[in-house]
Amino acid sequence: MTAHRITVPPTAGLALRLADLRPWGDKHLDRALAAWLGVDEVLLECSGTSALMLALRTLQQLAPERCEVVVPAYTCPLVAMAVAQCGLQLRLCDLSPDRLDMDGQALDAVLSHRTLAVVPTHLGGRVADVARLLPRAQACGAYVIEDAAQALGARVAGRSVGLQGDIALFSLAVGKGLSTYEGGVLLAREPALMAALRAQHQQSIRPSLVWELRRSLALLGYAAAYRPALLDAVYGAALRRSLARGDWVEAAGDDFDSQIPQHRLGAWRRRVGLRALARLRPHWEQAQQQAQRRVAQLRALPGVEVVDDAAPQAQGIWPVILLRLPSAAQRDALMQAHWASGWGLSLPFSQVLPDYARYAPLLGEALHDPVPQARDWAQRLLAISNSTWLSDAQFAQLLDALTRTLTQTRPPAAAG
């Protein structure tokens, strides 16, 4: 008899309960999230990417003479797609060599009177140092949009991320913690800008019965299948097929449809999200406790860097534990041997934006922006799921595999 294969999800998503799926009850997820985040108001969108597009179009109206959006060179390709679909020009900012964050000098080099917005990213729940970048953006008259798609629940100095920049967006997609299968949250620090976002939403976002039906069926599937007994069939098998083809872009989940839908988030999915929200804070507290134990073990490995929050006084969330290995060869050797092992290994993104053949045409002149540090991060970074379904025994196996990889595949010696 063949043993049942256990596949750990790539992130510590919040599992839904049967009671969450009831079709009646309070549908005001926006009010509940606003209170949870400590703000007066949020807008609900159909995805984090749709939220970004709505934010960019709002800023276009406020500053029509500006046309460039600066983003980290290592970020989700959906960001590039959103900028392009808004008719704006992308500029890429290199990363700091020692922090998973935009480099200040690199940012200075791409900012200009044409810059509409700068989009720092709180990647994998780790908190970017927005306060360090904010004066640079303000000096040239640009807005700051915090991409907190992967950081709902992260805090800086006791307040939610997203409240230092002008606008913030969060994602309610699968794997982000709280999920309505797809969904987004948008907020602004200043009431006048929030009013402009609301007006843009009311003017441009319409209901779509077809899209809402598709997302509702997908949410039902997520509720049924996001559990250890079924996850291999719906996630693990597809991952193994992608890896068998050698398609790391698809395996990393970076292969997106060419058009980004924009429609209103339906009432039933809002009700599901509202019920699950009550469990989100204890979910992240449990994840933090587990991460603290496992990070201590990972830090003991020679040459392994556990990625920390870049911002001071930050308390990120822990959907994953991000590691930077000493060399690209070691990272690739580990992923080739064990990505399909069911231990929750993944890549945040498989490449920097200029290196995706599919998305490179969206970059325009930004294709030539120098991003050597971001490329180095992309080649050495990996993520370990912080799901509670990754047992201590499995984590011990992963540690052993990582140790063997570090021993057997040593980084090249520096030139003397």
Residues in the chain: 416
Q: What is the DSSP string of 91-159?
A: EEEPBPSSSSSB-HHHHHHH--TTEEEE--B-GGGPPP-HHHHHHHHHHTT-EEEEE-TT-TT-EETTE
Residue 89 has φ and ψ, to the nearest 5°, of -105, 135
Q: Is 38 left (phi over 0), alpha (psi -120 to 50) or beta?
A: left
According to the model, what pLDDT value does residue 2 have?
A: 40
Averaged pLDDT, 387-400:
95
According to the model, what pLDDT value does residue 1 have?
A: 34
Pairing between β-strand 159-160 and β-strand 155-156 as defined by DSSP bridges? antiparallel
Averaged pLDDT, 174-194:
95
Averaged pLDDT, 277-292:
97
Give the contacts of 316 (CB within 8 A, at least 6 positions apart). 122, 125, 126, 127, 151, 154, 309
Q: What pTM was estimated for this model as a whole?
A: 0.94
Answer yes or no: are the C-beta atoms of 301 and 403 closer than 8 Å: yes
Residue 389 has pLDDT above 90, yes or no: yes
**Residue 4: pLDDT band by 50, 70, 90 thresholds?**
low
Residue 170 has pLDDT above 50, yes or no: yes
Rounded Cα distance between 164 and 118, Å, is 13
Sequence-distant contacts of 13-16: CB under 8 A, at least 24 apart: 13/174, 13/175, 13/176, 13/177, 13/179, 13/226, 13/319, 13/387, 14/177, 14/178, 14/179, 14/276, 14/279, 14/280, 14/283, 15/226, 15/227, 16/179, 16/222, 16/223, 16/226, 16/272, 16/276
The partner residues of 315 in beta bridges, in order of sequence, read 155
Averaged pLDDT, 53-73:
97
**Residue 411: pLDDT band by 50, 70, 90 thresholds?**
low
Per-residue pLDDT tens over the stretch 66-124: 999 999 999 999 999 999 999 999 999 999 999 999 999 999 999 999 999 999 999 99
Collapsed DSSP state (helix, strand, coil) of residue 321: strand
Amino acid at 361: P
Per-residue pLDDT tens over the stretch 192-243: 999 999 999 999 999 999 999 999 999 999 999 998 889 998 899 999 999 9
Average confidence score pLDDT of the chain? 94
Rounded Cα distance between 154 and 96, Å, is 21
Averaged pLDDT, 320-338:
96
According to the model, what pLDDT value does residue 253 have?
A: 93
According to the model, what pLDDT value does residue 412 have?
A: 57
Averaged pLDDT, 170-175:
94
| Cα–Cα nearest to 177, from 12, 18, 33 | 12
**Residue 416: pLDDT band by 50, 70, 90 thresholds?**
very low
Residue 3 has pLDDT above 60, yes or no: no
The partner residues of 145 in beta bridges, in order of sequence, read 167
* Portion of the chain with pLDDT greater than 70, in percent: 97
Residue 413 has pLDDT above 60, yes or no: no
- Going through 207-330 in order, the beta strands assigned E by DSSP cover 305-306, 314-315, 320-324
Answer yes or no: are the C-beta atoms of 15 and 227 closer than 8 Å: yes
Rounded Cα distance between 155 and 147, Å, is 14
Answer yes or no: are the C-beta atoms of 67 and 88 closer than 8 Å: yes
According to the model, what pLDDT value does residue 6 have?
A: 77
Per-residue pLDDT tens over the stretch 122-169: 999 999 999 999 999 999 999 999 999 999 999 999 999 999 999 999
Averaged pLDDT, 326-345:
95
According to the model, what pLDDT value does residue 409 have?
A: 65
